[in-house]
Amino acid sequence: MNSVRRGILALLGGFILGKPSLSRASSKQPAFAASRSSYTPRHVLCFLGKENSLAALQQSARAAIGLFADDFTVDEKFSQDEADDRMERSFNVCWDRVDPNAYQDTDEDAVAAHGSVLYVLGPSMTADIAVTTSAKALMFVQYMLDHGAIAAKGESAGVAHGVRRWKELFEQARSAVASRDLLTLARTCRLAFARRPIGDDAEGMASVGFHLIGLPDVLVTFVRRDDQKPSTNAEQLKIAALIDDVADEMTREGVEEALADRHAALADDTRYEEDEYKFNPFGVVSIQEKSL
């Protein structure tokens, strides 16, 4: 039994997604990449609460740790029992812009009115346990939203969803585990904790956060005339869809097979320093498109 299967079984041993059994054969295992660095990624989760509610948030987080996430820890250094005036801008930058229902006005209002901040740290992850750990992180988010948190953000890629979208992603993960569909579980965790597309027309647009499921990020570059207008939102959504297609193929077929099929190149991640949370130790896949 490989480590991914052991991790899924361990995941199901606690609070988890309806406690379905994986004792029989599961679906195809999600592929993962070979690391190009000694750095191991981890989840950093940010939870906002109401005024004077840090103690309650900490109690909820410790309950989650005791139930199903004993390798997660509550951060004591940066959590605070008061509003952080950077949060409104931070969430505004980090809201997922791909899913049309990623957040609502009520989510923005909750961020603006928050009165406490809690950070939770996940364990360092090797590629073979990244999907399992990310599924646990997603469950942690849903648990906290059910127990006092009013907003949540994944700091490791800088992505935020509204309460409704976090729950939708959690339910998708629950369904994937129940049906033993580990490829869909990997995809759901990727949609939950990664951002795309980030960048510009000149340097290309990329994902950030695919290391959280054990894959390289994807960079799409394209040719545009000097007199051509900047890319539109619709064009950027096409880029996001292409990035997701490549990620799905890497998950399903493996990184080397996907690269060969796409005539793509894999290189080290030079976008971030090696000790930054967004740094991808599995590298960045570069794909050049002739046009959008």
Q: Write down the pLDDT at residue 26.
A: 53
> Which pTM does this prediction carry?
0.91
Q: Write down the pLDDT at residue 28.
A: 81
**Cβ proximity of 194 and 157 under 8 Å:** yes
Distance CA 55, CA 60 (A): 9
Distance CA 237, CA 96 (A): 12
Q: Write down the pLDDT at residue 228.
A: 78
Contacts of 81 by beta carbon, 8 Å cutoff, 6+ apart: 52, 53, 54, 55, 115, 116
Distance CA 150, CA 107 (A): 8
- Kindly state the helix (H) or strand (E) to which residue 89 belongs, with its residue range: helix 87-94
- Six token digits for residue 20: 């379905």
Mean pLDDT, each 10-residue run in order, the chain (292 residues): 44 42 57 95 98 98 96 96 97 96 97 98 97 96 98 98 98 93 96 96 94 97 78 92 97 96 94 95 90 62
Q: Write down the pLDDT at residue 282.
A: 98
Distance CA 140, CA 222 (A): 38
Distance CA 55, CA 89 (A): 25
**Cβ proximity of 176 and 16 under 8 Å:** no
